[in-house]
Structure 1
Amino acid sequence: MPRTPRILVALTALGLGMTALTPGSAAASSHREAPAIAGFPQYDNTDLYAFVSPDRPDRVTLIADWIPFEEPAGGPGFYPFATDARYEINVDNNGDAHRDLTYRWQFTSTYAREDRVFYNSGPVTGLDDEDLNFWQTYRLEEIHWAADGSRTGTDVLAEALPVAPSNVGAASMPDYRALRDRVIRSQHGVTMFAGQADDPFFLDRRVFDRLQGGGPSGAGRDTHAPYNVNSVALQLPISRIVRDGDPVVGIWSTTSRRTSTGEYVQLSRLGMPLVNEIVVPIRDKDRFNASSPAGDGAFLRYVTDPEVPRLLEKTHRVKAPATPRADLVRAFLTGVPGLNRPARVTPSEQLRLNTSIPPTASPKRLGVLDGDEAGFPNGRRLGDDVLDITLQVAAGELAGAANDLGDAVDTNDVPFERSFPYLALPKSSSSRTVPAAPASAAALTVTGVAGPPERSPAADVSDDLVPLGAAVGGAGLLAFGAAWLWRRRLAGGS
């Protein structure tokens, strides 16, 4: 982020604005889902996952992602975690809408030498490689809270553990998997990871356009496929996070930024996916991101009388269920009785997981809607098709109104891993296909520009990339103009 006066003013304004907000409610944050956070990607929660580990069913895995739309070729600075932020995963294990446990990450940046220009100066084969010019480490704390919000204890789970570097490309990091695997650590009974990963949220984001009058489904292209995110992941014993024999826990992630006074102001929050996008009105999205689950009752009307079902009725001829929507209250605020509702519950927006339900050997992408109780909305696995599930639930699937709404994207573009951290490796600039350049200069004429060359289907992953030839040509013209002006000035011209 360039350090221009405009950016500094925006940062200050955001800090002051968020400080002025009072707790009211909260909802799921995601990719650029609210006006304020859209301009601050380092603090933007993109997704949250919680599931009983398929290969270790006595343990639960928690994953949180930040920084949406990381272009793999986004050098030379690439994508560090913010060093003035607290990245947190919070756990409510008694249903009272207050956090009982917090897992908090704070990151530190290190530069090898101040005179190095790029992220790396040659092939990087290890975390301590002298050609790696920038790296990050993290501190991880497990914080215990009392019912009144006071801290009762803190356990330091990690100190100065390495973060996996951004995947620059095949020439810079010839064996990226080896680098990623070396940052996976197990200590104090917890397995942990922090670093870059392929964006695991698969969907066709054009569905938000189609909700305004498009066809009955999306075009079936995973619009997140080209991008990465920054992720943290934990795998820990289920017994470590449950309480008083109740196997259900509520989970949400938050990001807070340090102000000039040293205080931390919450900028983003994420529990259930897509709630902020398709439930919360625009005017309240920032307020939701700055608040906590305890105040969610103040925004109950957005759940009981949502707008999206009315849009679906108008554009897709799927009749909107009658209001008030008790089915959505169960799905988003209390948990479903007999599935993932705590023994005692205060209605609040959290990702609720019943840790006593074992993982299945054959997961179904529609989770509970397709009879798979180990899937969403009972927690969230990487392979759960939450967009299709959310659209179908919004249109009344849980209230007996069967429908097949969806975006025609059923799986991630690359397979997930079978062991912790389960996330797919991040894409690099080497794995992206860019549009082909013109075959020769003869393709450009004085009277016009020839049509674009044919492209392979793989090239469609990026419709908005500028052809390299045009960029180089523009740079050449600028250089020529600058040289001409400089020569005139040396010759005494004006």
Structure 2
Amino acid sequence: MRHRHVRRRAAAAVAVASVLAAGLAALPQGASASSHREAPLIAGEPRLDNTDLYAFVSPDAPDKVTMVANWIPFEEPNGGPNFYQFASDAAYDVNIDNDGDARADIVYRWTFTDHYRNPNTFLYNTGVVTSLTDPDLNFYQTYKLERIAGHEHTTLISNGKVAPSNTGPASMPNYAALRQQAVTQIPGGGKSFTGQADDPFFADLRVFDLLYGGNLSEVGQDTLKGYNVNAVALQVPSKDLALGGSVSRNPVVGIWSTTSRKRMEVTETVPDESDAEHGRAQVSRLGMPLVNEVVIPVGRKNEFNATRPVDDAKFLPYVTSPEVPKLVNAIYHIPAPATPRNDLVEVFLTGVCKACGPVQADLNSQLLNKDVVASRFRPSEQLRLNMAVPPSASPSRMGVLGGDLAGFPNGRRLADDTIDITLQAAEGILLPNPAPGVSGLGDGVDANEHAFGNAFPYLALPNAVSVNQS
């Protein structure tokens, strides 16, 4: 929340909402830490902890969609000797729902294998590493990438190479070259990347200290600055995701990431059909940012992580009567919008469309797909993307609220300011006559500390300097 803006006039909020409505109306017919250590159980399993999910039409390849999913929050760059790796006993999935029934129609799955060249040393690397096959890279991982569509399992990559943790400039003097070597081509025009990256999420997480100190004295510090994550990134032709393979008829998809591991190692889980044959259970889940973090109460966070979207109706009361506006009202005296919050149901559970709720615009609900059977549609928490919206020539960090239809909550780009957008949405920016000050709400952190790339995988290179030195 930026102090100088917290009391902006209501007219400013109305203006932003007007830009939103006008921009959405222009969309051709037919043509949203955020989750770092968010639940009690997953906080103790960082390798399985989804931190963020991104999905956007690729700016340099507008006929393709890029999806980025991150795991392992708060990776300290100098965290040796073992550094950071994907779990070898888990499945890392990106799920696609293109018909709106809240079930995965397509699953992209990464599974990882550990390798040691020399088990008789404590070192991660025994010398200068100049390639992913360098004998001085003692520990390395490989992966298999599968595409699962119904009963059809297709192996896209059988022995992909993972970019290692960045142990520092002496050990890895050209980490950018290692990153590039970890980009693997997929038959049919796609690309895959797995490895370490700078954490692209930017936010002041002192929000948990009584909403920035109870007096806005704690804003403007990027809590994630200097930390890394482990990332998977995938770029595929848009038609590979669209219902019936037709982006022109069916441009909207819903996306969420999950982590599953051996069922005997978890409790209170809801099995996913795609994992039943493998004896796995889902232990982490992420679609829209901040949902499990600040919408779901602590007593049900583990349950949400284990729940499939098709069963999301049981969490509906936390969306229709959210806690955050009540806290903002109690601490900062900004009136909470009246409940039930059907505008938030539309943003988080159905996607935005004129037939979906009070936001009278068509944007990113699967109900806009011409071949969707409306009777099978199920509201559920997903990150929804309209693949027919082209990349913006002048992206706004405020996404749709800034008049930029290619941004959050229409998918999520790396530079979208999800904290500010979500907070303003929670305070009623999409409703008529929002309270004074709503359009100025935010955490004072407007961008990542590193610039993002212009080509796949777009993520910034991982940090090598210790956080307490940066």
CA contact (8 A) 1:58 1:237 kept: yes
Task: Report if the CA contact (8 A) 2:227-2:467 is conserved.
Answer: no
Q: Which one-letter code corresponds to 1:340 in the other structure?
A: N
- Asked whether the equivalents of residues 206 and 212 of structure 2 are also in contact (C-alpha less than 8 Å), the reply is no
The answer to whether the 8 Å contact 2:212/2:218 transfers is: no
Which runs of structure 2 are paired with 1:15-414 in the superposition (5 Å)? 30-145=35-150, 152-189=151-188, 190-211=190-211, 214-216=214-216, 218-244=218-244, 245-259=249-263, 263-337=279-353, 338-343=362-367, 344=374, 345-400=377-432, 401=434, 402-414=438-450
Match of 1:437 in 2: none
Bigger Rg, structure 1 or 2: 1
Distance 1:163 1:92 in 2: 27
Matching of residues 393-472 of structure 1 within 5 Å: 393-400=425-432, 401=434, 402-428=438-464, 431-432=465-466, 434=468, 459=469, 461=470
> Shift of the alpha carbon at 1:130?
1.4
* 1:485 corresponding residue in structure 2: none
> Is the contact made by 2:76 and 2:466 (CA closer than 8 Å) also made in structure 1?
no
The CA deviation string for residues 377-408 of structure 1, in whole angstroms up to 9 with x for no partner, is 00000000001111111111111314311100
- For 1:376 and 1:259, how far apart are their aligned partners in 2? 34
| Aligned partner of residue 403 in structure 1, secondary structure | helix
CA contact (8 A) 1:226 1:432 kept: yes
- Distance of aligned partners of 1:277 and 1:212 in 2 relative to their CA distance in 1, 3 Å threshold: same
Q: How many angstroms apart in 1 are the aligned matches of 2:110 and 2:140?
A: 16
Contact kept? 1:72, 1:227, Cα under 8 Å: yes
The CA distance in 2 between the partners of 1:240 and 1:357, in whole Å, is 17
Tell me the equivalent position of 1:453: none
Give me the whole-angstrom Cα distance separating, in 2, the residues matched to 1:215 and 1:31: 25
Q: 1:218: Cα distance to partner?
A: 4.3
The 3-state SS of whatever aligns with 2:209 is helix
Letter of the 1:412 partner, please give it.
N
Contact 2:34 2:201 in 1 (8 A): no
Structure 1 residues 309-328: Cα deviation after superposition (integer angstroms, max 9, x where no partner): 00011112211000000100
Q: Residues of 1 paired with 2:307 and 2:217: CA distance?
A: 34
Matching residue's letter, 1:336? V
Distance in 1, matches of 2:175 and 2:389, equals: 35
SS in structure 2 of the partner of residue 55 of structure 1: coil
Offset, 1:281: 0.7
Distance in 1, matches of 2:211 and 2:315, equals 23
Q: Is the 8 A contact 1:212 1:311 kept in 2?
A: no
Residues 285 and 305 in structure 2, CA contact (< 8 A), matched pair in contact too: yes
Q: How far apart are 1:195 and its partner, in Å?
A: 0.2
In the aligned structure 1, how far is the partner of 2:107 from the partner of 2:293? 25
Amino acid at match of 2:155: V
Name the CA distance, whole Å, in 1 between partners of 2:212 and 2:165: 37
CA offset at residue 263 of structure 1?
Answer: 1.6
TM-score, normalised to structure 2's length?
0.83
Give the match's secondary structure for 2:293.
helix
Distance 2:384 2:216 in 1: 30
Looking at structure 1, the residues matched to 388 and 199 of structure 2 have their Cα atoms a distance apart, in angstroms, of: 28
Q: Mark the CA change 1:333 to 1:218 in structure 2 (over 3 Å): closer, same or farther.
A: farther
Matches of 1:340 and 1:217 in 2, distance apart?
A: 37
Indicate the residue corresponding to 1:442 in structure 2. Answer: none
Structure 2 contact 212–219 (Cα < 8 Å) conserved? no
Secondary structure in structure 2 of the residue aligned to 1:195: strand
Query: Which amino acid is 2:205 matched to?
Result: R
Matched residue SS, 2:420 = helix
Cα deviation per residue 1:35-60 (whole Å; 9 max; x = unaligned)? 01000000000000000000100000
Shift of 1:161: 0.8
Contiguous gaps of at least 5 residues in structure 1: 1-27, 146-151, 435-458, 462-494
Provide the secondary structure at the position in 2 that maps to 1:336.
Answer: coil
The answer (yes or no) to whether the contact 2:400–2:409 under 8 Å persists in 1 is yes
Instruction: Please tell me whether the aligned partners of residues 213 and 315 of structure 1 are also in contact (alpha carbons under 8 angstroms).
Output: no
Is the contact between residue 351 and residue 364 of structure 2 (CA under 8 Å) also seen in structure 1?
Answer: yes
3-state SS of 1:214 partner: helix
8 Å Cα contact 1:29/1:289 also seen in 2: no
Q: Aligned partner of 1:50: which letter?
A: A
Q: Indicate the SS of the match to 2:55.
A: strand
Residues 405 and 59 of structure 1: is their aligned pair in 2 closer, same or farther, counting only changes over 3 Å? Answer: same
RMSD, aligned CA: 1.5
Q: How many residues align?
A: 401
Task: Tell me how far 1:160 sits from its aligned partner.
Answer: 1.1
Deviations 1:18-42 (A, max 9, x none): xxxxxxxxxx971000001000000
SS for the counterpart of 2:153 is: strand
Give the unaligned 5+ runs of structure 2. 1-32, 266-277, 354-361, 368-373
One-letter identity of the residue aligned with 2:325: P
| Letter of the 1:253 counterpart | S
Q: TM-score scaled to structure 1, two decimals?
A: 0.79
Question: How many angstroms apart in 2 are the aligned matches of 1:218 and 1:230?
Answer: 29
Deviation at 1:294, TM superposition (A): 0.3
Task: Give per-residue Cα distances to partners, 1:287-346, cap 9 Å, x unaligned.
Answer: 000010001111111100111100011112211000000100001000011010112431
Kept after mapping to 1: 8 A contact 2:77/2:467: no
Compared with structure 1, are the counterparts of its residues 218 and 403 closer, same or farther at alpha carbon in structure 2 (3 Å cutoff)? farther
Q: Secondary structure at the match of 1:324?
A: coil
* Residues 179-217 of structure 1, C-alpha deviations (whole Å, 9 max, x = no match): 110110112122110000000000010022142752247
- C-alpha change, 1:69 and 1:433, in structure 2 (3 Å) is closer
